[in-house]
């Protein structure tokens, strides 16, 4: 494949799956400027790594998630060392998730769920994002480089923590 064809192929795939980039940027960056920077960093890393993508080995979206989440997690680790405060979730993430799911207006339960997700450490944010995307445990394990058993254990713990918060009165009522 010529360089020009390869670039066009990449741009087409990136356009088709751009919501992945926006979701990852929204999960790991809270401010608009930081989201734009992170989305650009993700796109750049995807392009740099595009030669390693093999259509025979798996779906583009799985490969893309792996790269995007690694960039997002690395960015979150750099940022958290500079700013330890938990930043509140903003409306951009809710709008991005809602539009991707075909929801016109996110309700209070969705807001609370994504606020909870925003409080998780970077790896668990990635894990729950993939889980909410209805990815299989096998695919989540492949993207994150952990075992399926570890995926199941971590998801179970996150659900238990969320149930505990709901039971303690931090309700998820609409």
Q: What is the DSSP string of the chain?
A: --HHHHHHHHHHHHHHTHHHHHHHHHHH--SHHHHHHHHHHHHHHHHHHGGG--TTTS-HHHHHHHHHHHHHHHHHHHHHHH--SPPPP-HHHHHHHHHHTT-SS--HHHHHHHHHHHTS-HHHHHHHHHHHTT--HHHHHHHHTS-HHHHHHHHHHHHHHHHHHHHTT-----
What residue ranges of the chain have pLDDT lower than 70?
80-107, 169-174
The model carries a pTM of 0.72
Which residue reads 């356009």 in tokens? 15
Residue 87: what pLDDT?
46
Residue 97: what pLDDT?
55
């Amino acid at each position: 494949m010529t360089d020009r064809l390869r670039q066009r192929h990449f741009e087409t795939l990136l356009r088709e799956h751009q919501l992945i980039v926006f979701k990852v940027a929204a999960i790991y960056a809270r401010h608009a400027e930081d989201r734009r920077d992170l989305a650009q960093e993700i796109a750049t890393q995807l392009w740099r790594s595009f030669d390693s993508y093999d259509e025979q080995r798996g779906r583009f979206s799985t490969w893309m998630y792996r790269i995007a989440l690694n960039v997002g997690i690395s960015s979150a680790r750099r940022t958290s060392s500079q700013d330890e405060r938990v930043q509140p979730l903003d409306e951009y993430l809710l709008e991005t998730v809602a539009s991707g799911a075909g929801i016109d207006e996110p309700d209070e339960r969705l807001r609370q769920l994504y606020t909870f997700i925003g409080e998780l450490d970077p790896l668990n944010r990635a894990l729950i994002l993939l889980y909410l995307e209805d990815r299989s445990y096998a695919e989540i394990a492949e993207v994150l480089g952990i075992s399926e058993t570890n995926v199941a254990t971590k998801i179970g713990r996150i659900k238990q923590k969320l149930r505990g918060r709901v039971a303690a009165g931090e309700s998820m009522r609409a």
